[in-house]
Structure formats: structure tokens, C-alpha cells
């Protein structure tokens, strides 16, 4: 018997009054209890806001990204503990991999994105400065800073680890502490994971707390600096998000809820094509993985009318190979749903679907379970329904049986397919198996607005495709309407849910100071040695090098043309160049100017600049003709540490002519030794 503890205000606390029993999905026996009505939610909120938040915000995005990586690696080392506990949730080893390894992998992706795509500072910059005044002395830019409160994460039972980590990673990266409330049915797995994270000593105090069991009245104490991220059923979401106090205080509430996801077989994917086989494989995998308890599982299977029989035959053959039983057995392909009450719920929902569709595969009263007692464990067989008239049906489009249950339905043509796809009134994902780009386009423009993710797969992508049901940390997860109208993950987009975007306006100096990035128009530092002689650490934002001028001659242009082979007429033929609306006559190559610029700002001796790694945002603004002269201004715009040896310096480079007109502008990237 596990006493599932909560971690509240720095203390592990036992279950107490109001604790609920949790039974094994396999044996039906009570294996744990969780919940404590006496949990001091106010103390938890204060601990997060007053201790966790400030400690996290002291760190930069890069510090927090490194912390996430270390936590993820620690969990990886101990994942067997989580696997061992997870069997009692009904999950098989391959299900654990989706949950545990998937969660850890998500954390690692955020760790890496945090280092690569966010600054080593405290504000995330959204877009470039906007010039708001005529002379560039009054600018605006959008910056994102962490919310000053706490994120409350309420999770569904089906992914006790991934469900927590996919929310925790962007939250902690943002610099916001979290209180995690897993679903009670599987909270013993989440508790073990939180324990591992806390034992690692890698998280600052107050960064993560855990409520095992009920949340009490915590939501009533949130304010505009807090955020709720909910995952679960549409019914619970509606109840929680309508809390008048949350509404009154404009507390952010993101909802990821159930949806009637669909998979569609393209008209081109007839039997015998690789796409047909792929479709059967994807659908049966989605029906049976996690015993169908995936928010993204395929609930509606749409196939061209003439292929209904072929799909039914192939799918039922494959589903017939699904061995059901104790998930600890190697031979078991599908375990149990999470609990007896979940089994009841699935069967009730299946009965509703059955009023509109015929059950053509799987009988809940007649199936085999290996290694466990069918009457004690929460086992349900895969069930396939066939709905011959999907336009007239309602339940097959709005009833989620959260288990291995799907409905097969025919479509006539693509407009009809789009209509059926959208009849779910908003879903997390729709997949389309087709090798025809026109089909993919038509479906995208007809259905994208109703779906959070469109997953196309065919013979080209199938070896690498990640699966209809896998939300990836790089991609947005969430969907409109029935799916909750929320959005999670999507790389750095997911971090933004825990930050406030603020439009900051002011002079260039003010904006440079706030954004930790030199903004054109603000002060420069010119009294130091050549910046290429100074290390990453020494070189300061705004440090500027002014080169001497160099004349560009006709001979230079011709030499460059013949040397590179770029004898484009605008550089070589006066008359032809004049006829071109852009040029007054022969002009210097833009690349010649860039090369001369490099020659003007170079510091040739071995020094801290290790390599030139790229150039961004290049613009040629004014032509240069023979006899003009150019000079370069090079300013340190931004610095990003990369590792213990070197960091990236982003230089703002402007080439001007003899009249001080800007000829070209770009950002140069160098790696500089620390
Ligand atoms: P649920 O019954 O709606 O519960 C979801 C969470 O809400 C649980 O942690 C639950 O805690 C909590 N909760 C319930 N009532 C609450 C209240 N009054 N105050 C605070 N918290 C409360 O959903 P579930 O059965 O766990 O999960 C299955 C559903 O989740 C399915 O419909 C599935 O489609 C959906 N889901 C969606 C996604 C997605 O990303 N869109 C992902 C996974 C699952 P207790 O367990 O303690 O009641």
C-alpha cells in the first residue's frame, strides 16, 4: 500500500482526511491512497510565489535550460523506477516509453531550445525594434518576462509523467514555479517522478510542488500573475474554467481536453499501395496504444466508400493480433484501462456510439485476457464500430469513449471528407494518409481551422514519421472548440504561455538597457582596442569599431567579376546596366562590398575571434559605383555564451559611402573565445 504524499511548502505530507483509495488496473486491488483535505493551499501558493519564483527568475534562460537538461538526465537514469510503478496503471512497457521517455525527451528538447533560441538573459525579445519617431530616437519593442505568480498544472490520468513534464519544462524555462496536480488514479507514478526531481537537488526551493489528491480551493486564490494549465475531460474543463474568481481576475486558463480525432485514408491510397498498409498500421496502433487512452487517439476513421470493406478486413485482421493481458507479460500488446470506473465509462460511451453505429469488431463480453483475472482488472477489448450514415449521426462525432474504441465511416469525395473531419467541432489532430499533394492541399484549406495539428503521411515520410498520436515538443499541441481552444508546447511558443508580452517604448539607450541588446541609435563605445582583440567576456555591448575608407575602382569590379565568374551585366556593361531601373550604370557587386568590408574590419593576427559563423539580415541599400568609397562600422549587438570555451557575438555592421549614406547593413556572427 503506497501512501502517496504531496509536496507542499517544502514538506512531504501524508494522505489525511478525505484520502481516496487507488486500485491497480490489473488486479483491482487497492494499492495506494492519496489526498488530504487539510493541505494548506495558501502556504503552497506563497511558497511558490515568494521562494520559488524569485529563485527561478534570478537564473537566466540558459541557466534554467541547463537545469532542465540535468533534471531530465537524472530522470533518465532512474526511469526504471517509474516503469515498475506504471504497470499497475494498466500500461505496457511500450506505453511507459511513450509516457516516461516521451516526457524526459520533451524536457531535453526544451533544454536545447532554451539554449539555442532564447537569450542568456532575463527577457525574451519578440521581434525587432520598431522605429516610432522620424529620427530613430523613439523606438518600441516587444519583450516577454516571466509571470510573477505560480502555474497550477492539472493533469489527466493517462500520462502521469509526460503530462507533468510537458507542462513543467516550458514553465520552468520561463522562470515560473509550478504546482502540479496529477489525476488521482495514477498520481503514485507522478509522485515518484517528483520525488526523483526533488532528490536530485537540481531545482531551487519552491520551483515544484505536488498535490496528490484534491486541489481544495486553490483556484479561488489565484490572480492575474498566475496561470492554470488544465488537461482532462471537456466536462471538468468547463467546470473549472467557469470559476467566477478566475474569470473576474483574468487568470490565464489553458485547456487541453478530449476530442474526436480523425484519420482519413486518401482517395489515392487504394489496397496494394504503401499508403493503404500504413493507414491500417497507424489506425490499429492508435486504437491500442495506452489501451486507447490517448487524447490524440483516432476515434473516427474515414475512408473512401469503395474501400470500406477492404479497410474493415485489414484492420480487423490486425486488431485480432492484439493480445490483451497483464502488461508485465512480454506477449501482451495491450494492457487495461486505468480503473474499473474508467472501464464502465468506456462501455457506457461505446453503447451511445452503438446506437448510431454497428459494432463490427470486438465484444466486451467475450474476449481473452492473459495473465490476469478479466473480472477483476479493467480490461476492455479493441472495439470497432461502423457508421454507414455519418452525416446523420451525432454521437460518433461527439462522444469520446476514452479507451480502444473507434468508428469507421465512409466518405464520398473530398468536400464530404472535409465536412466529416470538421464535424468533431474541433480536434487535437487529424491525420491524412495520402500520396497526393492536391488532396493534402484541399484538406488543409478545408479543415486546418478545425484542427490543432494536421499529420500527413505517405511512402516518402513513413520511415521517419513520428505517428498520428505523438504530440512533439517542437510542434503545437492543442486544438480549437471541443479540444479546449488551448495550446501547449510548440517549442518556445509553449514558454510564452507563462510570460507576459509587454510593448516597451522609449529611447534607444533605454531599450538597449532593458533588452540586453544594443539597439541602433544608442550609445557606442569607441575608445577601446580593436574588438577582435578582446575576448567574449571582455567585449561589451555597444563596443564599436570604425574602419578607414576604401575606394572602389573599376579595376576592383572587373577583377572581382573575373575572379568569381560573376560577370552579370550590371557590373560589366554600362549601357545594359543603365537600362536596368535599379542602376545608374555599372555598379560594384554586393559581395565585393561585403568582401571589402571584411578586409576593412579584420584583425589578421591569431586572437579571440575563432570563426565567422554566419551573417543575418543582409540588405543592400544603395549602389556603389567606381570612384565611390566605403567604410564600415561594427558594433557589438548581442552576446550568447555557447560553452566553456567560446560564445557567439552578434555584430551590427553598417557600410556607408563617402556621403555617409548606408550602403549595406547586416548582422555578422562570430565565435569568440571566452
Ligand atoms: P478528468 O476527470 O477531467 O480529470 C482531469 C484532472 O482534473 C484530474 O487531475 C482531476 O483530478 C482534476 N479535477 C477533476 N475535478 C476537479 C476539480 N473540481 N478541481 C480541480 N481539479 C479537478 O479527466 P481524466 O479522466 O483524468 O482524463 C481523461 C480525459 O483527459 C480524456 O477525456 C482525455 O481526452 C483528456 N486528455 C486530454 C489531453 C490533451 O492534451 N488534450 C491529454 C490527455 C487526456 P482527480 O483525478 O483527482 O479527480
Q: What is the pLDDT of residues 287-338, one digit of tens each?
A: 999 999 999 999 999 999 999 999 999 999 999 999 999 999 999 999 999 9
Does one domain contain both 192 and 324?
no
Q: What is the mean pLDDT of the chain?
A: 96
CA dist 608 and 600 (Å) reads 18
Whether residue 620 is predicted with pLDDT greater than 90 in this model: the reply is: yes
Q: Could you tell me if 253 and 284 lie in one domain?
A: no
Determine the angle formed by the axes of helices 102-117 and 162-174, rounding to 10 degrees.
20
Q: What is the DSSP letter of 439?
A: H
Average pLDDT, integer, range 417-432: 97
Q: Whose CA is nearest to atom 21 of ligand 1?
A: 215
Scan for cell 516550458, then name that residue.
Answer: 170
In a domain, 479, yes or no: no
Kindly give, in sequence order, each residue whose CB lies less than 8 Å from that of residue 311, ignoring residues fewer than 6 positions away.
Answer: 265, 279, 280, 301, 303, 408
Centre of ligand 1 from the C-alpha of residue 238, in Å = 11
Are residues 203 and 305 located together in one domain of the fold? Answer: no
Identify whether 362 is part of a domain. Answer: yes
Cα 38 from Cα 40, distance rounded (Å): 6
How many A from CA of 475 to the centre of ligand 1?
22
CA dihedral of 173, 175, 181, 183, whole degrees rounded to 10? -20
Helix (H) or strand (E) holding 165: helix 162-174
Mean pLDDT value across residues 523-532: 91
Residues 246 and 269 in one domain: no
Domain containing residue 462: CATH number:
3.40.309.10
Residue bearing cell 531601373: 581
Q: How many domains does the chain have?
A: 3
- Is 514 within a domain? no
Give me the pLDDT at residue 51, please: 98
Please report which confidence band the pLDDT of residue 649 belongs to, taking 50, 70 and 90 as the band edges: very high
In this structure, the answer to whether residues 439 and 547 fall within a common structural domain is no
Pair (71, 206) in one structural domain = yes
**Does 210 lie in the same domain as 269?**
no
From 485, 500, 515, the end of a domain falls on 500
* d(C-alpha 470, C-alpha 487), whole Å: 15
d(CA 35, CA 2): 12
* Same domain flag for 131 and 208: yes
| CB of 295 closer than 6 angstroms to any ligand 1 atom | yes
CA pseudo-torsion sign 267, 272, 275, 281: positive
Identify whether 665 is a catalytic site residue: no
With cell 506504471, the residue in question is: 86
Under 8 Å between Cβ of 104 and 193: no
Looking at residues 532-561, what average pLDDT do you find? 96
User: What is residue 482's predicted lDDT score, i.e. its pLDDT?
Assistant: 92
State the Cα–Cα distance between residues 450 and 260, nearest whole angstrom.
Answer: 11
- pLDDT band at 280; cut points 50, 70, 90: very high
How many Å from the N-terminal Cα to the C-terminal Cα in the chain? 54
Extract the C-alpha cell encoding 517: 541588446
Which one of 295, 356, 387, 400 is the catalytic residue?
A: 295
Which ligand 1 atom is nearest residue 214's CA?
47
Cα separation, 397 vs 300, whole angstroms: 8
Using CA atoms, how far apart are residues 483 and 592, in angstroms rounded to an integer? 55
Query: Which single residue is written with the C-alpha cell 555599372?
Result: 586
DSSP state letters, 10-73: TEEE---TT-EEEE-TTT--EEEEE--TT--HHHHHHIIIIIIHHHHHHS-HHHHHHHHHHHHH
| pLDDT score recorded for residue 258 | 86
- The closest-lying atom of ligand 1 relative to the alpha carbon of residue 483 is 41
Structure confidence at residue 59 (pLDDT): 98
Distance, in Å, from the CA atom of 539 to the CA atom of 638, rounded to the nearest integer, reads 10
CATH number at residue 197: 3.40.605.10
Q: Is the CB of 299 under 6 A from ligand 1?
A: no
Whole-angstrom distance, CA of residue 670 vs CA of residue 364: 65
User: Is the shortest distance between the CB of 99 and ligand 1 below 6 Å?
Assistant: no
Q: Contact, 667 vs 652, CB < 8 A? A: yes
Owning domain of residue 120: 2-257+493-500
What backbone torsions phi and psi does residue 637 show, to the nearest 5 degrees?
Answer: -95, -40
Q: Is residue 475 part of a domain?
A: no
Q: Does residue 641 form part of some domain?
A: yes
Task: Please state, in angstroms and rounded to a whole number, the distance separating the CA atoms of residues 484 and 237.
Answer: 8
276 inside domain: yes
Residues 427, 559, single domain; the answer is: no
Q: Is 184 in the pocket of ligand 1 (CB under 6 A)?
A: yes
Share of the chain above pLDDT 70, in %: 100
For residue 434, report the phi and psi dihedrals to the nearest 5 degrees: -155, 150
Lookup: cell for 303:
475512408
My answer on whether 351 and 305 are in the same domain is yes
Query: Domain holding 538: CATH number?
Result: 3.10.129.10
Maximum C-alpha span of the chain: 93
Question: Does residue 192 lie within any of the structural domains?
Answer: yes
- Pocket flag, ligand 1, residue 236 (CB < 6 Å): yes
Average pLDDT over residues 489-505: 97
Query: How big is the chain, counted in residues?
Result: 674
Question: Ligand 1: which of 6, 41, 183 to mutate, judged by most atoms within 8 Å of the beta carbon?
Answer: 183
Tell me, in angstroms, the distance from the centre of ligand 1 to residue 184's CA. 9
* Rounded Cα distance, 527 and 649, in Å: 19
Is 671's C-beta closer than 6 angstroms to any atom of ligand 1? no
DSSP letter (8 states) at residue 443: H
Positions of E strands within 552-661: 609-620, 629-641, 646-657
From ligand 1's centre to the CA of 235, what distance in Å?
Answer: 9
Residue 486 lies in a domain: no
Angle formed by the axes of helices 79-86 and 61-77, nearest 10°: 60
Band the pLDDT of 50: cuts 50, 70, 90.
very high
Catalytic member of 166, 191, 256, 356: 256
Q: Measure the CA–CA gap between 203 and 172, rounded to whole angstroms.
A: 9
Quick count: other Cβ atoms within 10 Å of Cβ 521?
A: 19
Closest to 597 measured CA to CA, from 533, 656, 672:
656
- The pLDDT tens digits of the residues spanning 374-403 come to 999 999 999 999 999 999 999 999 999 999
The candidate with the shortest Cα–Cα distance to 158, out of 400, 344, 337, 343, is: 337
Separation in Å, CA 515 to CA 25, 294, 540, 542? 52, 41, 14, 13
Phi, psi of 405 (to 5 degrees): -130, 125
- Cβ burial 583-604 (10 Å sphere, 16+ → b, else e): beebbbbbebbbebbeebbeee
Please indicate whether residue 209, judged by its CB atom, sits closer than 6 Å to ligand 1: no
Q: What DSSP assignment string belongs to 231-272?
A: EE-HHHHHHHHT-HHHHHTT-EEEEEE----EEEE-TT--TT
Is the Cβ atom of 13 under 6 angstroms away from ligand 1? no
Same domain, 571 and 555: yes
- The mean pLDDT value for 97-121 works out to 96
Is residue 642's pLDDT more than 90?
no
Q: Which helix (DSSP H) or strand (DSSP E) does residue 514 occupy?
A: helix 508-515
Q: Does the annotation mark 256 as catalytic?
A: yes
Q: Is the pLDDT of residue 11 over 90?
A: yes
614 Cα: distance to centroid of ligand 1 (angstroms): 47
* Same-domain status, 170 and 291: no
CA of 665 to the centre of ligand 1 (A): 53
Amino acid at each position: 500500500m503506497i501512501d502517496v504524499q504531496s509536496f507542499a511548502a517544502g514538506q512531504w505530507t501524508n494522505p489525511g482526511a478525505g484520502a481516496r483509495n487507488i486500485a491497480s488496473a490489473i488486479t483491482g486491488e487497492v494499492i495506494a491512497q492519496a489526498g488530504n483535505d487539510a493541505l494548506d493551499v495558501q502556504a503552497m501558493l506563497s511558497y511558490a510565489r515568494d521562494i520559488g519564483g524569485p529563485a527561478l527568475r534570478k537564473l537566466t534562460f540558459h541557466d534554467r535550460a541547463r537545469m532542465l537538461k540535468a533534471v531530465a538526465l537524472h530522470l533518465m537514469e532512474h526511469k526504471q523506477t517509474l516503469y515498475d510503478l506504471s504497470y499497475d496503471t494498466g500500461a505496457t512497457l511500450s506505453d511507459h516509453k511513450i509516457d516516461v521517455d516521451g516526457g524526459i525527451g520533451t524536457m531535453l528538447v526544451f533544454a536545447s531550445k532554451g539554449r539555442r533560441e532564447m537569450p542568456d538573459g532575463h527577457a525574451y525579445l519578440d521581434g525587432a525594434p520598431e522605429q516610432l519617431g522620424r529620427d530613430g530616437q523613439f523606438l518600441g519593442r516587444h519583450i516577454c518576462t516571466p509571470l510573477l505568480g505560480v502555474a497550477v498544472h492539472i493533469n489527466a490520468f493517462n500520462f502521469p509523467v509526460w503530462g507533468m513534464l510537458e507542462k513543467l519544462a516550458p514553465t520552468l524555462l520561463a522562470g515560473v514555479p509550478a504546482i502540479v496536480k496529477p489525476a488521482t488514479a495514477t498520481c503514485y507514478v507522478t509522485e515518484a517522478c517528483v520525488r526523483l526531481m526533488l532528490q536530485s537537488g537540481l531545482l531551487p526551493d519552491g520551483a515544484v510542488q505536488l498535490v496528490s489528491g484534491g486541489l481544495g480551493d486553490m483556484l479561488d486564490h489565484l490572480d492575474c500573475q498566475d496561470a492554470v494549465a488544465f488537461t482532462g475531460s471537456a466536462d471538468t474543463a468547463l467546470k473549472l474554467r467557469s470559476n467566477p474568481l478566475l474569470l473576474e481576475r483574468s487568470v490565464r486558463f489553458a485547456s487541453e481536453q478530449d476530442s474526436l480525432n480523425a484519420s482519413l485514408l486518401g482517395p489515392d491510397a487504394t489496397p496494394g499501395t504503401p499508403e493503404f498498409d500504413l493507414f491500417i498500421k497507424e489506425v490499429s496502433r492508435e486504437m491500442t496504444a495506452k489501451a486507447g487512452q490517448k487524447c490524440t487517439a483516432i476515434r473516427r476513421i474515414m475512408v473512401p466508400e469503395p474501400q470500406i470493406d477492404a479497410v474493415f478486413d485489414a484492420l480487423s485482421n490486425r486488431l485480432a493480433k492484439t493480445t490483451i493481458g497483464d502488461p508485465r507479460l512480454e506477449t501482451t500488446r495491450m494492457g487495461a484501462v486505468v480503473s474499473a470506473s474508467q472501464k464502465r465509462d468506456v462501455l457506457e460511451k461505446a453503447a451511445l456510439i452503438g446506437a448510431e453505429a454497428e459494432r463490427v469488431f470486438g465484444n466486451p463480453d467475450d474476449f481473452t485476457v492473459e495473465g490476469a483475472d478479466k473480472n477483476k482488472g479493467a480490461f476492455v477489448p479493441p472495439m470497432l464500430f461502423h457508421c454507414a450514415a455519418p452525416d446523420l449521426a451525432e454521437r460518433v462525432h461527439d462522444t469520446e469513449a476514452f479507451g480502444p474504441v473507434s468508428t469507421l465511416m465512409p466518405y464520398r469525395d473530398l468536400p464530404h471528407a472535409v465536412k466529416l473531419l470538421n464535424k468533431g467541432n474541433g480536434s487535437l489532430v487529424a491525420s491524412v494518409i495520402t500520396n497526393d499533394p492536391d488532396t493534402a492541399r484541399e484538406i488543409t484549406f478545408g479543415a486546418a481551422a478545425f484542427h490543432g495539428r494536421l499529420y500527413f503521411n505517405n511512402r516518402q515520410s513513413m520511415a521517419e514519421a513520428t505517428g498520428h498520436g505523438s504530440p512533439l515538443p517542437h510542434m503545437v499541441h492543442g486544438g480549437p472548440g471541443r479540444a479546449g481552444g488551448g495550446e501547449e508546447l510548440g517549442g518556445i511558443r509553449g514558454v510564452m504561455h507563462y510570460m507576459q508580452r509587454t510593448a516597451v517604448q522609449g529611447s534607444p539607450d533605454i531599450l538597449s538597457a532593458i533588452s540586453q541588446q544594443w539597439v541602433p541609435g544608442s550609445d557606442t563605445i569607441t575608445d577601446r582596442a580593436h574588438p577582435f582583440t578582446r575576448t567574449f567576456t571582455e567585449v561589451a555591448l555597444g563596443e564599436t569599431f570604425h574602419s578607414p575608407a576604401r575606394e572602389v575602382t573599376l579595376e576592383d569590379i572587373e577583377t572581382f567579376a573575373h575572379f568569381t565568374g560573376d560577370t552579370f551585366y550590371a557590373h560589366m556593361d554600362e549601357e545594359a546596366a543603365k537600362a536596368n531601373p535599379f542602376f545608374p550604370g555599372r555598379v560594384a557587386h554586393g559581395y565585393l562590398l561585403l568582401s571589402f568590408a571584411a578586409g576593412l574590419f579584420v584583425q589578421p593576427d591569431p586572437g579571440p575571434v575563432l570563426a565567422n559563423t554566419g551573417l543575418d539580415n543582409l540588405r543592400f541599400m544603395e549602389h556603389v559605383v567606381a570612384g565611390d568609397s566605403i567604410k564600415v562600422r561594427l558594433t557589438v549587438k548581442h552576446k550568447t555564451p555557447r560553452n566553456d570555451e567560446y560564445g557567439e557575438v552578434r555584430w551590427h555592421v553598417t557600410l556607408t559611402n563617402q556621403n555617409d549614406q548606408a550602403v549595406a547593413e547586416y548582422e555578422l556572427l562570430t565565435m569568440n573565445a571566452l
